[in-house]
Structure 1
Amino acid sequence: MILEYKNADIFYTDEGKGTAVVLIHGFLENATMWQNITPELSKKNRVITVDLLGHGKSDCLGYVHSMELFAETIAAVLKQLRIRKTFLVGHSLGGYVALAFAEKHPQKIKGLCLMNSTSNKDDAERKTLRTRANRMIQNNFTSMVRMSFANLFGKKSSVLFKAEMEAALHEALQTPIQGYIAAQEGMRIRPNRNVILAENDFKKLIIIGEKDPVLDFETSLEEAKKTNTELVVFPNGHMSHIENKEELITVLQKFVKKL
């Protein structure tokens, strides 16, 4: 389905009945990343997936897609569907978007899950890397995206999940350069949102990979502890929906059960 938001088309899906659950993909991903998760969750829940601006079938809006702007597109979809309260599950970038949504609309949240994501802001090194990537991407899009994806999987996972990795890479390569740049800039300027986890009383969950090459494991442990957030640790890397699919489905089914 398509929603028009500020003259941009936003693509979303809506399946099942019951408690509303919004699944928000990560950087260079789109709603297809949830194709093995949605059928299971939608058996007892109403599952919505959204293509974020500049990803999948959704248009771009300028060259800075802030987390707040992404979040408002989610809010617009929920308004169109007349959904008043929901669970949010965000993978990586999707987690940053979920936090921005929760900051603006805490009363609409039943629960928030950061999946291979964090409420911390970028450190100086990561900010520099994002700026550098945006300079390089215009002339080296395919090679840079390939390299980025290869770095998300460990050696073992690269062999075990080769077909899934290639499918995810194929989707990533469909992302427009403008979408890449706008999301990187949005992530670079996002604030620390530890307080959103620490001070709200909705259900909270952080899912991390012990071998995640993107997020420091010890930092994630400390984040969960200081924000009083439930923590689930998987043994693999950044792509839990691929590397730990069955375990993830079980964890999410439990998380979105009625309070």
Structure 2
Amino acid sequence: MLLNYKSSSFYYTRQGNGNALVLLHGFLENQTMWEPFISQLSDNHTVITIDLPGHGKSDCLGYIHTMEQMAEVVEAVLVKESITEANFIGHSMGGYVALAFAERYPKKCSGIVLVNSTTKADSPERKKNRDRAIALVKKHKEAFLSMAIANLFAEENREKFATAIRESKQTALEMPVQGIIAALEGMKIRKDRTYILKQFSKPKQIIAGTKDPIIPFDKIKNLAIECKCSFQSLIGGHMSTIENRDELLNIMYFIE
């Protein structure tokens, strides 16, 4: 289905019946990443998946896609579908968007699961890495994607999931350079939303990979304690949706 919003088109799907569950993909991914999960999730939920701006079949909004702008697109989808409240599961960047949504539309967010994600803003070093990534994307998109995607997996899993890595690279190669850069810029300037998760009084959960090369495990575990979240760990890297797919389904909140 298509949403027309701010002179741009955004693709989304709706499946199943029951309480609404919004699944938000990460950077360089799109809503198809959730396909292995939907058959089970849609048994008891109205499942909404969305191609965030610049990803999948969705248009770009501009040079920078802030987490707030992405949250506004999510809200526009929910309004179109007459959904007044939903639970959110966000992978990586999708978690940043879920937190932005919870801040802007608190009454519409009934629960949050962060998968391989964090409430924290980018560190100065991380911001410099984003700038280097942007420079590389402009010169050689394929080289950036080849390096970036493989590095998301735990080192010992890269051979095991070689096919999934190739498929993820192909998905990312279909993205326009503008979409990649806009997301990098948006993540670079996102604010710390730890206070949002701290004060969130509804169900909240953090799921982390023990060998996540992007978000250090100890830091995310401490964050869960700080924010009084349910916490689950999985043996793997940043791509728990692939590396630990079956386990992930069994431990996520909202799964009945």
Aligned to 1:196: 196
* Partner SS, residue 158 of structure 2: helix
Residue 33 of structure 2 is matched in structure 1 by: 33
CA offsets 1:156-197 (integer angstroms, 9 cap, x no match): 211222222211111111111000110000000000000111
Q: Is the 8 A contact 2:154 2:238 kept in 1?
A: no
Look up the match of 1:134. Answer: 134
CA distance, structure 2, for counterparts of residue 50 and residue 96 of structure 1:
15
1:50-107, CA deviations, whole angstroms, 9 ceiling, x for partnerless residues?
0000000000011000000000000000000000110001100000000000000111
SS at match of 1:63: coil
Q: Residue 122 of structure 1 corresponds to which residue in structure 2?
A: 122
1:75 aligns with 75
Separation of aligned partners in 2, 1:154 and 1:98: 25
* Structure 1 stretch displaced more, 239-248 or 151-160: 151-160
Q: 1:200 to 1:154 in 2, by over 3 A?
A: closer
Q: Which residue of 2 aligns with 1:244?
A: 244
- Distance of 2:168 and 2:44 partners within structure 1: 27
Take 1:40 and 1:169, find their aligned partners in 2: how far apart are those partners? 26
- Name the TM-score, length of structure 1 as normaliser: 0.97
Once residues 133 and 246 of structure 2 are traced to their aligned partners in structure 1, the CA distance between those partners, rounded to angstroms, is 34
3-state SS in 2 of match to 1:160:
coil
User: Which string of whole-angstrom CA distances, capped at 9 and with x for unpartnered residues, describes residues 210-249 of structure 1?
Assistant: 0000001111011111111111100111111111000111
SS of residue paired to 1:57:
coil
What TM-score does the superposition give when structure 2 sets the normalisation length? 0.98
**What's the counterpart of residue 22 of structure 1?**
22
Residue deviations 1:8-42, cap 9 Å, x none? 10000000000110000000000011110111111
2:64 aligns with 64
Equivalenced residue count is 256
Give how far 1:257 is off.
5.1
Deviation at 1:139?
Answer: 1.1
**Residue number in structure 1 paired with 2:105:** 105
Find the counterpart in structure 1 of residue 11 from structure 2: 11
8 Å CA contact 2:249, 2:255 repeated in 1: no
Cα root mean square deviation, aligned: 1.0
Find the residue that maps to 1:163 and give its secondary structure.
Answer: helix
Please report how far the alpha carbon of residue 143 of structure 1 lies from its aligned counterpart in structure 2 after TM superposition: 0.7
Shift, 1:154, TM fit = 2.3
- Equivalences for residues 144-163 of structure 1 within 5 A: 144-163=144-163
Alpha-carbon separation, structure 2, partners of 1:165 and 1:39: 23
Alignment check: 8 A CA contact 2:99 2:119 kept: yes
d(CA) in 2 for partners of 1:211, 1:30: 23
- Give me the whole-angstrom Cα distance separating, in 2, the residues matched to 1:31 and 1:200: 26
Residue 118 (structure 1) shift: 0.1
Residue matched to 2:254: 256
Segments of 5+ residues of structure 1 without an aligned counterpart are none
For 1:246, the aligned partner's letter is D
SS in 1 for 2:138: coil
Is the contact between residue 13 and residue 49 of structure 2 (CA under 8 Å) also seen in structure 1?
Answer: yes
Pairwise CA distance, 1:110: 1.2
Question: CA–CA distance in 2 between the matches of 1:228 and 1:16?
Answer: 31
Corresponding letter in the other structure for 1:54:
G
Do 2:10 and 2:57's aligned partners in 1 also have CA atoms closer than 8 Å?
yes
Report if aligned partners of 1:33, 1:168 keep a CA contact under 8 Å in 2: no
